[in-house]
Structure 1
């Protein structure tokens, strides 16, 4: 049975990374064609698939030790805080919004200076590097609470949706509200990280309301982030740049 909180978190996290990967592959395809660029992307996805399957094998060892839960919780907490901080900075105007069109143009400029092999490697590296963050999240959720199928399903669904949308428009997905998604993802992952970290340290008594505590944590981080954005906007000098 799928854990839909894990599916949602994995889907949103993966969607952002897949959008960035698709933008790079699209730029490369205009240089060396869809077949070569797609081949590079598939090669990178194959590497990620092997890594995912290998990591999933750890579940068969029956590892349910507290130090593993603590490590996963701390990783998610740090990962989520990083995303949340960037989303707050962008929302407050301290950091430029992520621009897929700009990434597309930069990749095209880089391709113009290289040959066909270099272009193939750019597509491969782009998908692999963006996919590594997806793999980390899938592995973290999968190794805790045996939510492997849920986390993998969320990431795979995101890949299908982004690929279908990208192929339909054949353009950088500039209309995707990436900063809003990153804010939501940052909130959710930080909430999960906090929950699992304290549970590993204090046991089940750390959260007397069980999984419902996740909703309270998510609300806390969301309200905190939105309050920070409003505060920074109000106190930041007009016309100040990042």
Structure 2
């Protein structure tokens, strides 16, 4: 797998999660100030960095690489299915699309009667929970491809992009096409998972790594068919 594939998958996955985390941090910052909100978010990011370091080393310590490949493949397949299913349901109108402005309002309302230390905990938990999915993807992609540093760098680049956009706009990033990104990333992660899981089981792909874009395209087209079928059933 090329560095570009790892970078795109990590950047897009992390970008969606960081947008959701930023919404929480912004609400906390407006309630108790940026210094304390940033400190809480920074502490969560430090925990995620340690988890990435130790997680990658733990996976690398497994002697049988096929076991790692199979476990990572199963995880990515399930993760990709979840993201793709959510995107399909939202596109078909069966599930409400995430509204960052509404999420911001909910968090702000919750913080209205929260003490400073409680608000900091909200920021810490929000960044940690959203970041855990980023951590899982970085470790899974990084250890499987031998490009943990590349995957982590892409995730950090996504974090920097979201932070820069948020600081400039000083508002929830409501215009980010989260559903479309989740659809594309879901297809990509599902393709990676399928590829590695079947490879670990002994299947030899006739076209090698070129099977990845073929799988991704197949899942994307299948998702569009599912969207159309669900929309017709809903009428």
Give the TM interval when normalised to the shorter protein: over 0.9
TM-score, with structure 2 as normaliser: 0.96
Residue 160 and residue 181 in structure 1: after superposition, are their counterparts in 2 closer, same or farther (change >3 A)? Answer: same
The residue correspondences of 1:226-241 to structure 2 (distance < 5 A) are: 226-237=224-235
Equivalent residue number for residue 183 of structure 2: 183
Deviation at 1:61, TM superposition (A): 3.7
The residue correspondences of 1:43-122 to structure 2 (distance < 5 A) are: 43-58=43-58, 61=61, 63=63, 65-122=65-122
Taking the aligned partners of 2:63 and 2:126, their CA distance within structure 1 comes to: 33
Residues 61-111 of structure 1 show CA distances to partners (whole Å, capped at 9, x for unaligned) of: 474521111000000000000000000000000000011011100100110
Instruction: Decide whether the 8 Å contact of 1:4 with 1:150 is kept in 2.
Output: no
| Alignment pair present for 1:225 and 2:218 | no
Deviation at 1:113, TM superposition (A): 2.3
| Alignment pair present for 1:216 and 2:214 | yes
Choose 148-157 or 104-113, whichever is displaced more: 148-157
Instruction: Decide whether the 8 Å contact of 2:48 with 2:132 is kept in 1.
Output: yes
Gaps of 5+ in 1: 238-242
C-alpha RMSD of the superposition? 1.5
Taking the aligned partners of 1:60 and 1:187, their CA distance within structure 2 comes to: 26
Runs of 4+ deviating beyond 2 Å: 56-64
Instruction: Decide whether the 8 Å contact of 1:59 with 1:146 is kept in 2.
Output: no
Any idea what SS the aligned residue of 1:202 has?
A: coil
Residue 153 and residue 183 in structure 1: after superposition, are their counterparts in 2 closer, same or farther (change >3 A)? Answer: same
TM-score, with structure 1 as normaliser: 0.94
Choose 84-93 or 135-144, whichever is displaced more: 135-144
Taking the aligned partners of 2:129 and 2:158, their CA distance within structure 1 comes to: 16
Any idea what SS the aligned residue of 2:202 has?
A: helix
| Alignment pair present for 1:6 and 2:15 | no
Taking the aligned partners of 2:13 and 2:156, their CA distance within structure 1 comes to: 11
Instruction: Decide whether the 8 Å contact of 2:97 with 2:179 is kept in 1.
Output: yes
Deviation at 1:52, TM superposition (A): 1.0
Equivalent residue number for residue 25 of structure 2: 25
Any idea what SS the aligned residue of 2:90 has?
A: helix
Choose 222-231 or 84-93, whichever is displaced more: 222-231
